[in-house]
Amino acid sequence: MIEIVIVTTATAKFEALEKQLESNPKVHIGWAKTCDAAIKIASAETPSLMIIDAQLDDKSSLDLAREVIVVNAGIHMALVSSLSADEFHNASEGLGILAQLPPNPGISEAALLLSLIETI
């Protein structure tokens, strides 16, 4: 089973992504609406992928990713970010982020994420 946790307060913008991911019978989607909830999940289990929205509570996706790595470095992460590819690379270097996602990820991003997760 591919366990994916989406961390966001804006679930509606992830509907297309969720629908496409869940079209794969091996995928199960869970949700976390706060940074604390994401950290609790990371402390208790190791989902296959954590997708983190650009801004949560008072943290950016990069800030939360850094915290998740400290708690559980075994979780692969994809971050929503409006930074350019170069800026994102520089900001996330060394974090082992699986993918950068656009502000409204959809069908093509779901296909990319599934492809990456299945090859790991």
Domain that holds residue 87: 2-119
Global pTM? 0.95
Q: Which helix (H) or strand (E) holds 120?
A: none
- H runs (alpha helix) in the chain: 15-22, 35-44, 61-71, 85-92, 107-119
Q: For residue 81, is pLDDT > 90?
A: yes
- What is the dihedral sign for C-alpha 46, 14, 58, 89? positive
Band of residue 120 on the pLDDT scale cut at 50, 70, 90? confident
Q: What is the DSSP letter of 60?
A: E
Number of structural domains in the chain: 1
What average pLDDT does the chain have? 95
Q: What pLDDT is recorded for position 37?
A: 97
Separation between Cα atoms, residue 26 and residue 42, nearest integer Å:
21
Q: Which residues share a beta bridge with 7?
A: 32, 52
Residue 53, domain CATH: 3.40.50.2300
